[in-house]
Chains A and B, each alone.
Chain A
């Protein structure tokens, strides 16, 4: 019992406290609203003129970045849910499709961040790629399961776009980190 209780306390401390020392304070609240809004707007607005940027899933990357650095699964899932619902509101799909996916992404990203060094670019790249693929795959599952839409899943294209989004995530996370430092 003693041994179990010690292990449980260790796990709780591991979950509640960051495994590494934060280099800067948390991002300001206003940035937490403005940045996702910019991401959503850019996803809506930019492809009108630069069509090949439609592969960018900036709200997903913002969610991942928030979750990885907040290390709070509950905050991350709500943050992801909010961004997903905003995306749903600007899409033709029922509410909850992006919300569920981004809720899961936020939760898992926050859970994973407590076990990996998310400051490492390689880890960031791999996690970004993984969550993009997970995001697209789960959305495809939801489309088929909940909406009954016969949507094809192009794994190759999803992998390529995952790599591109992961490549974009590296500088984007740097910029967001700078905002956090500046704050």
Chain B
């Protein structure tokens, strides 16, 4: 037995182990039962390690994965950046194309609307020099371009052709320091000379300080320079201030806003009308003009403006027709028509000068203008004989002989310039108290306006009456 065990020990152990396992399998299969304890042990022993491996794997693999993902992200980011750059360039290109198309369309519309004969050109290059304000356009003498022609855009003038070559032209921009053109303001019609300053704004020179130019007022070409036709926009006044002799008016050229790409060269210029002044102050809201009832004049049914002078003229004509007098035919010294028979004048008081018996020589117009100053309420046609203003001295029944008329206001010996009440003689009577029309003639006394005692006595009645202080 010992020999057998020693001789076949290995195979014996093998058989025992195999049989044992076979029996284990047979038991499991036969009883259809598992050996849960061993399996629990194994799983319990293995799963913690597996969980630890999973944790390690999660972090390690996640890190590695993130690393490779980031590598992918980086490459994708680079690709997207390149694509974004390409799209940006394409976008800029399309925008430029669209802008070019818009400008070309605007040029075409302007070209068809303007009366001047123009030819479209494209800026193809700039002049040499850092401060040069000249550009080359692709139209030359072969297209009819000559030196001295105006170059404009629908927004305003751009410059003028200084050299014309067969296939190109050199255009001096209006911002060039040697450029000059005649301009006129839109609202106040102030003329000046546009000068380039070498930068984005131009100066309108030779405008007196007394002239009125508002900031924002539009300037147009005046046509005086014989280069630019009249009526082309130049630009709004960006700054206006008084200078030593002339105003300093800076204009922002409207034709060069946003750069110059396409232009029109004026081959044959035609002067145009400057647009109405309502648009002079661009950027400001302008109210509608006042209604007819607020205007000084009235509108007749035919639509023409009727002023006080027109009314007087019609009254004089009527008086002349009634007296069979034709104006302009009588010789000097002949009898003039009797203007006192004019209904309106008859109802009105005689002029101040009538008190000295010179009513026949007094100009009726002057009397009428004094009786109905423009500041009175509006008078309709034919209503001159019915003044609606409060009774004033000239409107009172006048005594043609002047016996009861108030004495004329004495003139001071030294002339007093009454442009401003504060400039008048401080000792003199205030103008308000000197108004004859403000007091009834019965109560009006010359002494009320008598000069101070330091003044000399009034002159004889032959002296010319002083006009009312409100004139």
Contacts and interface: CB of A to CB of B under 8 A. Distances in A.
A81 B53 contact: no
Given A73-B10, A74-B10, A104-B18, A95 B38 contact: yes
A89 B22 contact: no
Name the interface size band of chain A.
Answer: 20 to 34
Interface in B27-81: 28-29, 34-35, 38-39, 41-43, 46, 49-50, 53-54, 57, 61
A129 interface: no
Interface string A74-112: 100110010001100110001111011001100100010
A89 B18 CA distance: 17
Contacts of B49: 37, 41
B50 A95 contact: no
A147 B50 contact: no
B439 interface: no
Name the prevailing secondary structure of the A interface residues.
helix
26 contacts: A41-B50, A41-B53, A44-B46, A49-B61, A73-B13, A73-B14, A77-B17, A81-B21, A86-B42, A86-B46, A89-B41, A90-B42, A94-B28, A94-B29, A95-B21, A95-B35, A95-B39, A96-B25, A96-B28, A97-B25, A100-B21, A100-B22, A104-B14, A104-B18, A107-B14, A111-B10
A96 B24 contact: yes
Contact of B21 (A37, A49, A96): A96
B14 A77 contact: yes
B9 interface: yes
Contact of A90 (B9, B13, B43, B54): B43
B13 A77 contact: yes
Nearest to B38: A89
A97 B28 CA distance: 11
A45 interface: yes
A169 to B, nearest CB: 23
A40 interface: yes
Q: Size band of the B side of the interface?
A: 20 to 34
A146 to B, nearest CB: 5
A89 B39 contact: yes
A95 B25 contact: yes
Contact of A89 (B21, B43, B61): B43
A2 B41 CA distance: 54
Contacts of A37: 46, 49
B28 A95 contact: yes
A94 B17 contact: no
A94 B25 contact: yes
A104 B10 CA distance: 12
A94 B24 contact: yes
A89 B45 CA distance: 11
Contacts of B61: 49
B10 A107 contact: yes
A90 B45 CA distance: 11
A32 to B, nearest CB: 16
B39 to A, nearest CB: 5
Interface string B1-18: 000000001100110011
A74 B13 contact: yes
Contacts of B26: 146
A111 B13 CA distance: 14
